[in-house]
A and B are shown apart, each in its own frame.
Chain A
């Protein structure tokens, strides 16, 4: 075992140990666990929201896309900053309503707004299905880190197993928030590692940022701007919009909104949070530097570029620190995703179907679901060859389908009813599923349409289908229900 692996495993053990420590002497109810008693101020929410975003994706996926696609990777920087802008107007009403009705999960919000537990089950299911690719992404990242840091002595598949077992143990022991200590160390470590690498590597190999970009442009003309077709400007704009709308629709992000002390916390954070995304710029610098230094990584292997370049440049112990930072970026969000998915299934699906189940039983079911979800994600991790960005975009297309039903419920007098919301979300999710499985694109269906339309993110189409079905079904059922009030017709009304 080399010193890189020793450092990585030491950090993993430390994280599990601190999880055990955090657990001792704290008997918390599910409510306190998930929303922290609604007592978090600006700084804590800042860390929570900022920390959730920086996962293995940021680290390996961001640099991987800069390496293999170039300019299209810039979309990541834009969508995160713009999502914070939206939060100024979106989060306060969500927070107010959740506080008033003592809600703890995203699914609760839809149940309460639309007065429909069945809609809650659908929302929970969509959330969990969207979380799976996000989890796969974390596991894949873990596998990459462990196997690369072993200098090839541990195979990627074995590394994924090690990573998944580590995360599962961590979650089952430490619960939803793990220890605040691990999360804080993760944010500090990743910040310094990323800024250090983003500056050191281009200066080391090229003598600066500009010479590095010039060398890349000379070797691959057009790589640093958006192409005319494919991942074009039109793709960029539509993808940013879809991901901005989806940003707060992730069950774990939506849930963290509830933990704020007051609604001004969100408004104030919109000033600092966009600046924090600049960190991604340094991740891009690493990916761009790697292009000419570790060439030949094709397809999903682009995600290896950051670590391959580190192996080439640094001593094993520095690779160990980089790997450890990467491990924490997978561990902390990965555990949050796993626990959120398990809790949603237990509370908003199992409990609805078995109303007699006690609180303790629901908690037990949630715990048992953790390894089940791990294994499902593990299966897909080992069988699929998608890049980290592809996985993230798939998850985003799914959660974004919850956005219209949320937005139209915020008005005092909801614009759509539960039938419309149910049908719209279903139609949107089915569209995403069909497109993902059949791999159709707008270009393959309408080969003669201009590239501006062909390159649109398919999530936009799914959103349009979603909204049209939502208003259509709302209109039809409202008409039916109004006629249905006539006593002779009362039995014919659909019940959801």
Chain B
């Protein structure tokens, strides 16, 4: 597995593995109970991570040149 493939594991670790440790209401962040905020945060981070994966992947850059 290449580095970018391992990046794809991160959202699973954060969104699933992290929840047992943050299953609490306090502190509220952006008005949301902490565990909900945690999941929402990881949804956003998932987008960021996938943007990086796309950057690292030569196959997706190839296409930009061809339009």
Residues of chain A touching chain B, judged by Cβ–Cβ distance below 8 Å, are 71, 74, 77-78, 81-82, 84-86, 88-89, 208-210, 212-214, 217, 224-226, 233, 236-237, 240-241, 262-264, 267-268, 270-272, 274-275, 277-278, 281, 284
Contacts and interface: CB of A to CB of B under 8 A. Distances in A.
Contacts, number: 111
SS class, residues of chain A in contact with chain B: helix
Interface string B47-65: 1011101100101100100
Contact of A274 (B8, B46, B53): B46
Contact of B28 (A74, A81, A213, A264): A213
B36 A224 contact: yes
Contacts of B30: 209
Interface in B1-53: 5, 8, 11-12, 15-16, 19-20, 23-25, 28, 30-33, 35-36, 39-40, 42-44, 46-47, 49-51, 53
A226 B54 contact: no
A270 B43 contact: no
Given A84-B50, A88-B53, A267-B53, 13 more contacts: A88-B8, A212-B31, A213-B28, A213-B32, A225-B25, A237-B19, A240-B15, A241-B16, A262-B63, A267-B54, A274-B47, A275-B43, A275-B47
A457 to B, nearest CB: 13
Range class of the B interface residue count? 20 to 34
A82 B59 contact: no
A255 B37 CA distance: 34
27 contacts: A71-B33, A78-B15, A81-B15, A81-B42, A84-B46, A84-B50, A86-B8, A209-B31, A210-B28, A210-B31, A213-B31, A213-B33, A214-B28, A224-B36, A226-B35, A233-B19, A236-B16, A236-B19, A240-B15, A241-B16, A262-B63, A267-B60, A268-B54, A270-B50, A271-B47, A271-B51, A274-B43
SS class, residues of chain B in contact with chain A: helix
Contacts of A281: 36, 40
A45 to B, nearest CB: 14
A270 B52 CA distance: 11
Contacts of A217: 25, 33
Given A85-B11, A270-B50, A278 B31 contact: no
Contact of A277 (B12, B19, B32, B43): B43
B28 to A, nearest CB: 5
Given A81-B15, A210-B31, A213-B28, A278 B40 contact: yes
Nearest to B30: A209
B23 A82 contact: no
B5 to A, nearest CB: 7
Contacts of A272: 47
Top 10 closest A-B pairs, CB basis?
A: A209-B31, A210-B31, A270-B50, A224-B33, A274-B46, A81-B43, A274-B47, A271-B51, A264-B63, A237-B16
A164 B23 CA distance: 41
B35 A85 contact: no
Contacts of B46: 81-82, 84-85, 274
Nearest to B31: A209
A477 B37 CA distance: 50
Given A224-B36, A270-B50, A77 B8 contact: no
Nearest to B48: A271
Given A85-B8, A217-B33, A224-B36, A278 B43 contact: yes
B43 A77 contact: yes
A71 B36 contact: yes
B10 to A, nearest CB: 9
A277 B16 CA distance: 17
A267 B57 contact: yes
A237 B23 CA distance: 13
Q: Which of A88, A214, A277 has the most CB of B within 10 A?
A: A88
